[in-house]
């Protein structure tokens, strides 16, 4: 047994889009980056939940390329360590993603146990989670591939199920997996729960890097080959690990369950009863959140009269709700969702309509995050747009120009260092400057406090794709966020 089997490498999968939690979750800032349950985001909760587990390496994160700065910033906010952030050029499901993590870990000179976790799960009982991980660690050290089965609390049609055989393994109290089954109808789900033989499929795993690659190569050598090709040109970009885009795009799309767990003879399940939820819809978030005496979850400035069993959230204005039961109301600065709590799975149909109409409400929130800070659209109309821009201390925007718009900047707080053509100068609070159409320019914050300014854009086209980046600290191209 390799001594690395005592070392645990968390692999955090952060590729979800969270469409059923629209309008809070958007494609450029999905649910794992939002503080939906408490004051920290779901990915931050996932990392903090690991504290106290022995022989733990800093987590390795796998995410969409467009989310890379969000991941890095959320780790920085809480001063959390990581072992790297692998960027997927395209999504290819969990089997290739974990293969990349396993190969990368072994390239670093070891063969650790991989604890594969989603970035957007809730786990209320941390002690129970830790105990399950330790049980899984014992079982995985003997070569088993472990999945975590959630002890069901009700008949649930939104999850797949794992059927376990009776009897336990002396190492880890794990159960042999009899079958993985797809999401059932309600009657079948109820029969599963009544039988006491089935668990919800959590999508969390623990196995050694080498054992996973061995079994994946046995059943899906094409995935192994594509991932090896993608890693051949692996290189670091700031704190990110980039792959060969063409090679990874050729990789088959498959899940760990289909590619390995349903085929291997060494799959075992650890029962987990820790207040788990994947928060896949507003109804699930209602389930795991504290409620008032009428069964309501109230977030933000919400007033109710004779409302019950509802999820009611306001982020930018007062919301009043009267005489309703079992509904969801979610207000954001640019959109409002009203839905029957029993039909919130259908929210993704609204998102599909927004995408079909190419509307920005499917993509960005009003506040948009960038590696240098954020901006918020305040007002817009024909040939003008007003934004509130916040630049973090020591950060700078790209050196750029625009073909179709001019910009007026008014500093509200802090000091701006402005490059405009050949000139470089400071703009202090209550001062302003003007950037003509086509002029090369850059905005920096040389100070110790955030730089806040109001930007007024005027011109014939005001889209974000009218940015020609000439030089960028963060390695972005003109088409990147």
pLDDT, tens digit (0-9, with 9 covering 90-100), for 78-94: 999 999 999 999 999 99
CA 191/CA 198 separation, integer angstroms: 9
Q: Are residues 126 and 56 in the same domain?
A: yes
On whether both 221 and 302 belong to a single domain, the answer is: no
Does residue 282 lie in a domain region? no
β-pairing, 113-118 with 8-14?
parallel
Least confident of 45-54, 160-169, 439-448: 160-169
Residue 285 within a domain: no
For residue 362, is it within any domain?
no
Flag whether 45 is in a domain: yes
Residue 114 shares a structural domain with residue 36:
yes
- Which CATH number does the domain housing residue 402 bear? 2.60.120.10
195 and 58 housed in the same domain:
yes
The span from the CA of 345 to the CA of 261, in Å, is: 27
Answer yes or no: is 477 within a domain: no
Domain assignment present for residue 298? The answer is yes
Give counts: helices (H), strands (E), the chain.
11, 30
Instruction: Look at 188-192, 389-393, 466-470, 471-475 and tell me which has the smallest mean pLDDT.
Output: 471-475
* Same-domain status, 198 and 126: yes
Note the pLDDT of residue 172. 58
CATH code of 57's domain:
3.90.550.10
pLDDT at 10 over 80: yes
Q: Identify the pLDDT of residue 168.
A: 52
- Same domain for 446 and 328, yes or no, is no
Closest residue by Cα to residue 147 from 112, 189, 190, 176: 176
Q: Give per-residue pLDDT as tens, 273-285.
A: 999 999 999 999 9
Bridge partners (DSSP) of residue 277 are 122
Region 306-317: what's the mean pLDDT?
97
Helix (H) or strand (E) holding 304: strand 302-305
- In the chain, the number of structural domains is 3
Q: Please, are residues 301 and 314 in contact by the beta-carbon 8 Å criterion?
A: yes
Is there a single domain that holds both residue 273 and residue 298?
A: no
Cα→Cα distances 172→262, 389, 410, Å: 21, 53, 62
State whether 134 and 258 are in the same domain: yes
SS3 334: coil
- 257 and 303 together in one domain: no
The verdict on residue 337 lying in a domain is: yes
- The answer to whether residues 263 and 371 belong to one domain is no
User: Which residue would you say has higher pLDDT here, 1 or 121?
Assistant: 121
Look at residue 477 and tell me whether its pLDDT is greater than 80: no
Residue-level pLDDT at 237: 81
Query: Is the per-residue pLDDT at 328 higher than 50?
Result: yes
Residues 6+ apart with CB under 8 A from 457: 384, 385, 386, 387, 405, 406, 407, 408
**Average pLDDT score over residue span 438-467:** 96
Asked whether residue 123 falls in the same domain as residue 263, the answer is yes
Instruction: Give the domain-ending residue among 243, 277, 311.
Output: 277
Tell me if 162 sits within 8 A of 268, measured CB to CB.
no
Q: Is 414 within 8 Å of 454 (Cβ atoms)?
A: no
Mean pLDDT across the chain, nearest whole number? 93
d(CA 361, CA 384): 19
Percent with pLDDT over 90 in the chain: 86
pLDDT at 480: 60
For residue 24, give the DSSP letter: T
Tell whether the model's pLDDT for residue 37 goes beyond 50.
yes
- The pLDDT tens digits of the residues spanning 200-258 come to 999 999 999 999 999 999 999 999 999 999 999 888 888 899 999 999 999 999 999 99
CA–CA separation, 108 and 105 (whole Å): 5
> Residue 163's beta-bridge partner residues?
179, 198
Binning pLDDT at 50, 70 and 90, where does residue 2 land? Answer: very low
In a domain, 356, yes or no: no
Sheet-wide strand order for 297-299 = 297-299, 311-314, 327-331, 336-340
Same domain, residue pair 343 and 374: no
Q: Domain containing 444: what range?
A: 367-471
């Amino acid at each position: 047994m390799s001594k690395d089997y005592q070392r645990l490498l968390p692999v955090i999968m952060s590729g979800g889009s969270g469409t059923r939690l629209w309008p809070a979750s958007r494609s450029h800032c999905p649910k794992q980056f939002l503080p939906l349950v408490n004051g920290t985001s779901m990915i931050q909760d996932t990392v903090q939940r690991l504290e106290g587990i022995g022989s733990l390496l800093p987590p390795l994160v796998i995410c969409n390329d467009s989310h890379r700065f969000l991941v890095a910033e959320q780790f920085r906010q809480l001063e959390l360590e990581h072992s790297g952030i692998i960027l997927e050029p395209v999504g290819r499901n969990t089997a290739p993603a974990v293969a990349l993590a396993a190969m990368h870990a072994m390239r670093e000179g070891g063969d650790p146990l991989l604890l594969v976790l989603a970035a957007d799960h809730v786990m209320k009982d941390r002690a129970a989670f830790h105990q399950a991980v330790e049980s899984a660690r014992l079982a995985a050290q003997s070569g088993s591939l472990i999945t975590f089965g959630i002890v069901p609390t009700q008949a649930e049609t939104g999850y797949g199920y794992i059927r376990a055989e009776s009897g336990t393994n002396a190492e880890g109290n794990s159960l042999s997996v009899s079958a993985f089954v797809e999401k059932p109808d309600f009657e079948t789900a109820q029969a599963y729960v009544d039988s006491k033989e089935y668990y919800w499929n959590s999508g969390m795993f623990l196995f050694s890097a080498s054992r996973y690659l061995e079994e994946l190569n046995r059943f899906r050598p094409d995935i192994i080959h594509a991932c090896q090709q993608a890693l051949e040109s692996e290189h670091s970009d700031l704190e990110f690990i980039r792959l060969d885009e063409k090679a990874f795009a050729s990789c088959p799309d498959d899940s760990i369950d289909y590619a390995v767990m349903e085929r291997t003879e060494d799959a075992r399940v650890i029962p987990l009863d820790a207040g788990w939820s994947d928060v896949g819809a507003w109804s699930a978030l209602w389930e795991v959140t504290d409620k008032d005496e009428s069964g309501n979850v109230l977030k933000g400035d919400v007033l109710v009269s004779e409302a019950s069993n509802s999820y009611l959230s306001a982020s930018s204005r007062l919301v009043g709700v009267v005489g309703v039961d079992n509904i969801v109301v979610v207000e954001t600065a640019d959109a409002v969702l009203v839905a029957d709590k029993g039909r919130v799975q259908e929210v993704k149909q609204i998102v599909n309509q927004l995408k079909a109409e190419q509307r920005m409400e499917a993509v960005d929130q009003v506040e948009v995050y960038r590696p240098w800070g954020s901006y918020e659209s305040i007002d817009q109309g024909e040939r003008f747009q007003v934004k509130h821009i916040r630049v973090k201390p020591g950060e700078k925007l790209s050196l750029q120009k625009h073909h179709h718009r001019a910009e007026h900047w008014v500093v509200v707080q802090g000091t701006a260092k402005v490059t405009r053509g050949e000139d470089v100068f400071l703009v202090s609070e209550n001062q302003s400057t003007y950037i003509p159409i086509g002029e090369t320019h850059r905005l920096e914050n040389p100070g110790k406090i955030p730089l806040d300014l109001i930007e007024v854009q005027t011109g014939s086209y005001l889209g974000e794709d009218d940015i020609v980046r000439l030089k960028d600290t963060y390695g972005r191209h003109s088409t990147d966020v």
